[in-house]
Amino acid sequence: MNIFQVLLIQPLTNGLILFYNLLFQNIGLAIIGFSIFLRFILNPLTKPYMESMKKIKEIEPLVSKLKKKYVNDPKGLMQAQTELYKQKNINPGSGCLPYILQIVVLIALFNVFTQVLSQNGDAISKINQVLYSPLRFSEDATLNTHFLYLDVRKPDVFNVSGIPFPIPGPLLILAGLLQFLSAKMMQPMVKQEEKIAKKTKTETDDMAVAMQSSMIYMFPAMTIIFGVTFPSGLALYWLLFSIFQIYQQYKTSGWGGLTPFIQKTGLLQ
């Protein structure tokens, strides 16, 4: 085994099978239980990011004043904003680590589903090669990879006669929708930023607003586009991750970018 397999694939496989044994040998329940466990483990790394986002939201009026003050001085604005963040003990880059870890976990889980739980060959022999001794299956055991209408090793898609491409299934669509809501909540109020950008007329502001807007739609679209070829177990994991992210974001700083929509529905006064 290489270091990636020893440090990530093997522990994740063993964790998944542990929950599989604890939760009635139901692979879907195992993914749900293991996802909750992973979220709990990674929470200490995510919390600093949420706190940083909350502080950034609180100083938005001060940042707006700086942008008006340095309307024709992008370099001065950057220095002033950096100094403001230092004074308020804010680290804008603190959010990178949790997302990098989530991507690493996602890649490792992809390998678990495509290599260890692969339909090709003897699945039990393959999985026993990476399992620790107490968790290994007997040679005549059968691994149940079904959950609801899904086989977690296969994509959540429907193949319709006459349509040359697969149609995303409900789980995959829901995962993309929740990813959109999560991304929307975690972005600053884009409309407000657009107004400030128009007033300051700097390329930096325009670029930042464009990136914020594109990321809101890009990640959900990528979730669905890539999801039609990925095992549905990954879509289930990503759906749960988005639910946890939405809850934590709401708990930390409210509805964020969803506030205008929530206000229109009358749910938020």
94-143: pLDDT as tens digits? 656 666 777 788 888 888 888 777 666 577 888 898 999 999 999 888 88
Whose CA is closest to 60, among 76, 84, 79?
A: 84
Q: Read off the pLDDT of each residue in 156-175 and give the average, rounded to a whole number.
A: 90
Give the residue extent of every domain in the chain: 3-255
pLDDT in tens, 99-110: 677 778 888 888
Q: For the chain, list the strands marked E by DSSP.
A: 146-147, 150-151, 157-158, 167-168
Query: At 167, phi and psi to the nearest 5?
Result: -95, 125
